């Protein structure tokens, strides 16, 4: 071909600063764009061969080479794809994407928001100028009789084209790295970027350190990627060990996942992937989930909220959807309708998997529940469609070690008047749990951070059902049927004065009831409303002002308990009144201990009083 020089078809030189500053959010994306272009070139050549319009050399094996030469300051991306003729170089390189470049420049030259630019122009190749002071292209087309072409530009609107001596079909793009981007000449950094974006590209990628190759000519060539990720296999052909190995490889988590969902669909859109339910080490770990989104096996981004429902981001997985309408930077989405359909389908697949697990492997479902329930509860609150699909398989672990649905609990505890009693701390509320068990009552365990919100959500979905803590307004179900209300009223008047004096608290609410459990001397009850307000305050970091609220603590004294009877008798004896006050203060603190931790000052007084009581006994 005849050598030529010219100007790119742009009416201003501002295009490159704009590309460099606003088109891409991260510099390393230049490698993703150039390697993706190489992969596209290989795919096109293979398709042409399948159609009989191109001939592949014998033993053809697609490959992409990324060569780093720190001494020369270059990075080259080489492929054996279809290459370009001089006319194609003029069309695809010299004429930037669309004829509206001038409008593009005028519209965006003063903008600072990169999202205003993204998606308008196919400028992938020009991302190379983000890190380069000069870029060259050496290419030979697959077309019979085509001549090799060498193209060069220094990052302004000028270019030059000439013949080259390239003998093999394909393209080599060489970047002469600018001074401010020299970190990309570090082979390990390049490897890291390639592994990030192309760990599962369908064509082999070889990273070559040209400086090291001179010293060690025998260095073994090994692709840095796996060309067949597990999600491409038919689920029927995958073993449990393969799923676990893939999980460890991708997420560097050496704890086996609980179970997984393999998505493999071609209609109404193409999507494949695997979503894992990890085993949690602690309650906060779900926040560390990660769903990786791929586009034709090229990594796009983690946790893209437009595609992946927010609650699924608590899980781990890979989703490959080549039908996603990605723009030039492959990082933002454009077609809202299709994206919504994809998101809804993911919700359906996850819900269906959980329902299948519940119906076919209920024992495993119950075994997994402690790990997966925060995710399921969060999903119910965030996604109405998800809640509708899984509401019948929401289960609760009970204080008796069983797992029940809401309907099963209400059926088994008909005397609770559509109330579901729950425990937030099995150790702290042990006394209340014991009383429930002794009376043949059951309660569910709701002890995670999300449960305080989930309880309110479930009540909003089931207006006739009320959740109540086991240390809330429960005297009606704990009362003895033989209670003498008149005697309790008289005793209450007497003991209220005593316990207010003993606790030095004139606002203390005291009530006497005949409880079925005679061993229990007293319990502290707090209304469900007050409990939830306190939970809300904790959720806000304790910033809600509770000081102006009246205390809802209520001391319930058991008239069937021998200690309470004895305290009431001693209080009427002048010479034993001090003993009665001492015992009353101790009973009150013991009741508090069964409900919550004592404040430091209260605990100190409790210990001091305990020692005093021991001395009197001994």
- pLDDT 10s digits, 63-86: 999 999 999 999 999 999 999 999
Q: What is the mean pLDDT of residues 204-221?
A: 78
Q: Which residue has the higher pLDDT, 333 or 137?
A: 137
pTM: 0.75
Q: Which residue has the higher pLDDT, 16 or 127?
A: 127
Please give the pLDDT value at position 327: 55
Q: Name the 3-class secondary structure at 58.
A: coil
- Please give the CATH number for the structural domain made up of 4-215: 3.30.565.10
Q: Name the 3-class secondary structure at 71.
A: coil
Please give the pLDDT value at position 529: 75
Alpha carbon separation from 518 to 193, 560, 561, 564 (Å, rounded): 70, 5, 5, 10
Contacting residues for 209 by C-beta, under 8 A, at least 6 apart: 68, 187
Q: Which of 284-288, 456-460, 501-505 has the weakest average pLDDT?
A: 284-288
For residue 225, give both structure tokens: 């990627």
CATH class of the domain comprising 230-365 = alpha beta
Confidence class for position 287, pLDDT limits 50, 70, 90: low
Please give the pLDDT value at position 168: 95
Please give the pLDDT value at position 116: 37
Q: Give me the percent of the chain exceeding a pLDDT of 90.
A: 38
- Please give the CATH number for the structural domain made up of 394-470: 3.40.50.11260
Q: Which residue has the higher pLDDT, 131 or 158?
A: 131
Q: What is the mean pLDDT of residues 469-485?
A: 70
- pLDDT 10s digits, 159-193: 899 999 999 999 999 999 999 999 999 999 999 99
Please give the pLDDT value at position 315: 86
Instruction: Phi first, then psi: give them for residue 477, nearest 5 degrees.
Output: -90, -15
Nearest-10 Cα torsion for 456, 458, 460, 461 = 170
Confidence class for position 231, pLDDT limits 50, 70, 90: very high
Q: What is the mean pLDDT of residues 397-417?
A: 89
Confidence class for position 486, pLDDT limits 50, 70, 90: confident
Confidence class for position 404, pLDDT limits 50, 70, 90: very high
- pLDDT 10s digits, 244-266: 999 999 998 888 999 999 998 88
Determine the Cα–Cα distance for residues 476 and 367; give it in Å rounded to an integer. Answer: 35
Q: What is the mean pLDDT of residues 596-618?
A: 84
Burial of 547 (0-12, 13-18, 19+ CB in 10 A): exposed
Q: Is the pLDDT of residue 474 over 80?
A: no
Q: Is the pLDDT of residue 370 over 70?
A: yes
Determine the Cα–Cα distance for residues 112 and 173; give it in Å rounded to an integer. Answer: 30
Determine the Cα–Cα distance for residues 583 and 581; give it in Å rounded to an integer. Answer: 5
Q: Name the 3-class secondary structure at 392.
A: helix
- pLDDT 10s digits, 410-441: 998 877 778 899 998 888 888 888 888 888 88
- pLDDT 10s digits, 86-128: 998 888 887 754 333 344 445 445 544 443 333 333 457 878 8
Q: Are 193 and 68 in contact (CB under 8 A)?
A: no
Confidence class for position 219, pLDDT limits 50, 70, 90: low
Q: Is the pLDDT of residue 11 over 70?
A: no
Q: Which residue has the higher pLDDT, 481 or 451?
A: 451
Q: Which of 75-79, 203-207, 593-597 has the weakest average pLDDT?
A: 593-597
CA 288, 294, 297, 299 dihedral sign is negative
477-526+547-617: which CATH architecture?
Answer: Up-down Bundle (1.20)
Domain ranges of the chain: 4-215, 230-365, 394-470, 477-526+547-617
Please give the pLDDT value at position 551: 55
Determine the Cα–Cα distance for residues 61 and 76; give it in Å rounded to an integer. Answer: 19
Q: What is the mean pLDDT of the chain?
A: 82
- pLDDT 10s digits, 512-556: 888 877 888 888 887 777 777 766 666 555 554 544 444 567 888
Q: What is the mean pLDDT of residues 149-162?
A: 87
Determine the Cα–Cα distance for residues 264 and 442; give it in Å rounded to an integer. Answer: 43
DSSP string, 562-595: HHHHHHHHHHTSGGGHHHHHHHHHHHHHHHHHTT
């Amino acid at each position: 071909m005849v050598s030529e020089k010219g100007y790119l078809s742009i009416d201003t030189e501002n295009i490159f600063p704009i590309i460099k500053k606003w088109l891409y959010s991260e510099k390393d994306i230049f490698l993703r764009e150039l390697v993706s272009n190489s992969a596209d070139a290989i795919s096109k050549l293979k398709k042409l061969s399948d159609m009989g319009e191109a001939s592949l050399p014998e033993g053809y094996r697609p490959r992409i080479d990324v060569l780093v030469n720190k001494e020369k300051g270059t990075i080259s991306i080489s492929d054996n794809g279809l290459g370009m003729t001089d006319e194609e170089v003029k069309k695809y390189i010299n004429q930037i994407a669309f004829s509206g470049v001038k409008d593009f420049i005028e519209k965006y030259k003063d903008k600072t928001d990169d999202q205003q630019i993204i998606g308008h122009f196919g400028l992938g190749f020009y991302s190379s100028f983000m890190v380069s002071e000069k870029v060259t292209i050496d290419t030979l087309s697959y077309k019979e009789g085509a001549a090799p072409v060498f193209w060069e530009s220094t990052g302004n609107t000028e270019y030059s084209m000439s013949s080259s001596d390239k003998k093999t079909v394909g393209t080599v793009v060489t970047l002469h790295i600018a001074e401010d981007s020299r970190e990309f000449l570090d082979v390990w950094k390049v490897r890291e970027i390639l592994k990030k974006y192309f760990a599962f590209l369908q064509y082999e990628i070889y990273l070559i350190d040209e400086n090291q190759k001179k010293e060690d000519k025998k260095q073994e060539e090994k692709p840095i990627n796996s060309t067949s990720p597990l999600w491409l296999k038919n689920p029927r052909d995958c073993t449990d060990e393969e799923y676990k190995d893939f999980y460890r490889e991708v997420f560097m988590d050496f704890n086996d996942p609980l179970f997984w969902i393999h998505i493999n669909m071609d209609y109404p859109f193409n999507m494949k992937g695997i979503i894992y339910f990890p085993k949690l080490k602690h309650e906060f770990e779900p926040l560390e989930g990660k769903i990786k989104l791929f586009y034709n096996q090229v990594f796009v981004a983690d946790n893209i909220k437009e595609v992946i429902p927010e609650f699924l981001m608590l899980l781990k997985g890979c989703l490959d959807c080549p039908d996603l309408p990605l723009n030039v930077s492959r990082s933002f989405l454009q077609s809202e309708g299709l994206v919504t359909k994809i998101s809804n389908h993911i919700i359906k697949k996850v819900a269906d998997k959980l329902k299948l697990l519940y119906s076919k492997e209920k024992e495993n479902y119950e075994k997994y529940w402690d790990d997966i329930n925060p995710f399921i509860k969060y999903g119910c609150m965030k996604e109405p469609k998800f809640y509708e699909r899984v509401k019948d398989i929401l289960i609760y672990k009970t204080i008796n070690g069983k797992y029940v649905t809401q309907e099963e609990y209400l059926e088994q505890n008909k005397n609770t008047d559509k109330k579901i009693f729950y425990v937030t701390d099995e150790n702290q509320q042990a006394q209340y749990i014991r009383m429930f068990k002794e009376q043949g009552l059951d309660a569910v365990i709701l002890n995670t951070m999300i449960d305080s919100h989930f309880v309110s959500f479930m009540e909003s979905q089931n207006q006739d059902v009320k959740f109540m803590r086991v240390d809330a307004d429960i005297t009606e179900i704990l009362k003895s049927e033989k209670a003498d209300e008149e005697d309790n009223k008289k005793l209450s008047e007497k003991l209220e004065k005593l316990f207010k004096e003993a606790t030095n608290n004139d606002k203390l609410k005291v009530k006497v009831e005949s409880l079925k459990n005679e061993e229990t001397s007293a319990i502290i009850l707090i209304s469900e409303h007050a409990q939830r307000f306190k939970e809300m305050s904790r959720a806000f970091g304790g910033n809600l002002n509770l000081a102006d609220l009246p205390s809802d603590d209520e001391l319930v004294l058991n008239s069937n308990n021998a200690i309470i009877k004895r305290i009431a008798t001693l209080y009427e004896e002048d010479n034993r009144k001090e003993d009665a006050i001492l015992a009353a203060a101790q009973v009150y603190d013991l009741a508090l201990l069964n409900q919550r931790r004592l404040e430091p000052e209260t605990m100190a007084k409790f210990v001091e009083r305990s020692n005093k009581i021991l001395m009197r006994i001994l």
